[in-house]
A and B are shown apart, each in its own frame.
Chain A
């Protein structure tokens, strides 16, 4: 184990990883590298003109892709990225070969993320734009306070089940839950308090939902043809990314949740 002036940090070393460059692809071995040096290397590779950065042996390093701007940039991750991946990200594409931890796409502005596994809690918190596709399950508080602005419309499509508070405070964007690749068959499609405090955007759930699990601010409808027009490109992209049968996914009716008011607290206060 190498040490630095401030000492080793729980198995990680605070030294710059080796970057191998081939054409416009940079490859970085993340084995045992502290997140700060790893992310410096990623930013450095893009600054040197790389268009794709391949990260190997990623094991919980946080903040990968954090704040990076650039539409044509791509990060491919082998391993499990740590918290707040792609937070504030603005444009790039990130692909993981496995699951991701909490806080993916937190306050993200633009870009596309494909997670070939499950994802943790608070996925897409405050997300303003871009798209996130998850092959399997997601954790608690996913899509909380997602918002849309002008041409920015955030989209999250999760392939498995979701836990409680899915789409809480949602203010804009599209949140889709497919219930296909589920890890625990005894779990309901979506946990309690789905869409509570929702005041914008739309949630599509493949199948039915227990009305008791839905926030009182939501109207519950069956998705109609107009909705399928919205869903089609999203589900198509999810199926293309994770190899599922598009027609089969769309064969089951979707439940649609939309807010009953854009001003949920308009009558909360006494005139003073």
Chain B
């Protein structure tokens, strides 16, 4: 019998007139598409359309095309669904995928537009006037006490000012991606860039490799249910600690790094044996209630000299009530991860069908915390497919204090969104632990690209703020009056607290 009905998704075409038979494609492909017998011979079925071979072919003779097999039309039974049924009837397995939700759900950011000043309220030119992007993440006091500085001025009274906050030069953080799911060179690139930019990178739940110790003033360390690599030293190195409760790509699902990815370095950093599966249970088993969450938050504070402790949650139906509980439990920030957020591996059915959009979550959480009078107690970080500075500006206008980027940062490092991180064969050396692949990413080069990206977005944010006639990102935060909706239904507009364009 045939082993599979599934035909290749892509066609690898080599222009034989141009091919110089150098074999570069054979060497570059992480999935072993090419064999070589006097000339490169591609196996289409292995191709992921990651363009590594295309990019590195010196003769520019490779093209990847979609395998345009025609199926009898059925709007109900899409080719993708037919293939999924075949795949699962062949193996009986759960379909695993990576990156973020790729289904055509409405992308609310694309239906929101920003305001600008005209005539009466002049806009500001950020090239010539100061434009403040500095952002402080953490608890702000209910009130401040000031005292005379003895010279006619005032200063904060001792003990009456700010709690420990994370200082960001621009309202962007790198989201949590673990060493194990990504390579050490990715972690180094992120850490070096964060350090140069005055922002933060986030370890994810894979521990902190010793090579990152020089950058820990710009590293947030994560404590997730598997507690991999978490000890007192780890907690004390970071600038803040993040309890990962959920992830937008897989709400309610634990993590599972397959044994193949646990090499010696990963095993040392995670403090687990080589080659065994690293299983993060779906819940933290010491958190079954808001009171338990409070106990863990303050335990982490006790162990770290009272550093800020944030809590990352996936955006699900009752996100506003959950976030309220998280803030009341003592979190210094709530990290909201929307349903388009990325992952190094998740069951496809969960990635594509569970959770709610980040835009909705920001709006309802910000509103709920304001209504309850506790908005000052925690910052809101928004993540889950922040794709441009426009998304960032809109997220901040909806109520976020800052945004976190994961996928965008990886794309800057060469990711082509082929959604195959879970295979561990990333040809770009990003989501793999194979030494011959990871060495393709030079951390110095990576840090420069990430620095460029964040600088570019920051400049664009300054332009947006200037157009809005404000001179600090503080003035945009939660300012939904500066947003309008085009083509969103009335109930979505109401939930977002945004008027339709024209009103």
Which residues on A are within 8 Å of B, measured CB to CB? Answer: 5, 35-36, 39, 62-63, 66-69, 83-84, 87-90, 102-103, 106-107, 109, 122, 125-126, 128, 141, 144-145, 147-149, 152, 165, 168-169, 171-172, 197, 199-200, 262-272
Contact = CB atoms under 8 A, between A and B. Distances in A.
B421 to A, nearest CB: 12
Given A62-B299, A172-B273, A270 B231 contact: no
Interface string B404-447: 00000000000000000011000000000000000000000000
Given A67-B232, A270-B94, A145 B87 contact: no
A67 B279 contact: no
17 contacts: A62-B298, A62-B299, A66-B299, A66-B303, A67-B232, A67-B303, A69-B232, A88-B299, A145-B227, A147-B271, A148-B273, A149-B267, A262-B276, A266-B277, A270-B88, A270-B93, A271-B91
B272 interface: yes
Contact of A197 (B94, B233, B279): B279
Nearest to A267: B93
A144 B285 contact: yes
A147 B226 CA distance: 10
Contacts of B303: 63, 66-67, 87-88
Nearest to A169: B281
Interface of A is mostly: loop
Contacts of B275: 262
A88 B232 contact: yes
Contacts of A270: 87-88, 90-96
Contacts of A148: 273
Contact of B96 (A125, A172, A272): A272
Given A88-B235, A122-B286, 7 more contacts: A62-B295, A84-B299, A87-B303, A106-B286, A122-B285, A145-B285, A263-B276
B256 interface: yes
B93 A265 contact: no
B151 interface: no
Contact of B279 (A107, A128, A169): A169
B295 A265 contact: no
Nearest to A144: B285
Contacts of B79: none
Interface residues of B, number: 43
Interface in B230-244: 230-233, 235-236
B276 A63 contact: no
Contact of A106 (B91, B233, B276, B299): B299
A262 B93 contact: no
Contact of B295 (A83, A145, A149): A83
A88 B231 contact: yes
B299 A145 contact: no
Contacts of A271: 87, 91, 93
A90 B272 contact: no
B304 interface: yes
Given A263-B259, A269-B95, A125 B273 contact: no
B245 to A, nearest CB: 15
Interface in B246-278: 256, 258-259, 267, 271-273, 275-277
A267 to B, nearest CB: 7
Nearest to B96: A269
Contacts of A169: 279, 281
A67 B273 contact: no
Contacts of B295: 62, 83-84, 103
Q: Considering residues A68, A147, A152, which has the most beta carbons from chain B within 10 angstroms of its beta carbon?
A: A147
Contacts of A103: 286, 295, 299
Nearest to A127: B227
B490 to A, nearest CB: 40
B302 interface: yes
A37 to B, nearest CB: 12
Contact of B276 (A66, A200, A269): A200
Contact of A126 (B97, B230, B259, B267): B230
A100 B484 CA distance: 56
B281 A272 contact: no
Interface string B162-187: 00000000000000000000000000
Given A109-B231, A145-B227, A145-B281, A39 B302 contact: yes
Given A149-B271, A169-B281, A264-B277, A67 B95 contact: no
A87 B285 contact: no
A199 B258 CA distance: 13
Given A90-B231, A145-B281, A270-B91, A128 B271 contact: yes
A107 to B, nearest CB: 5
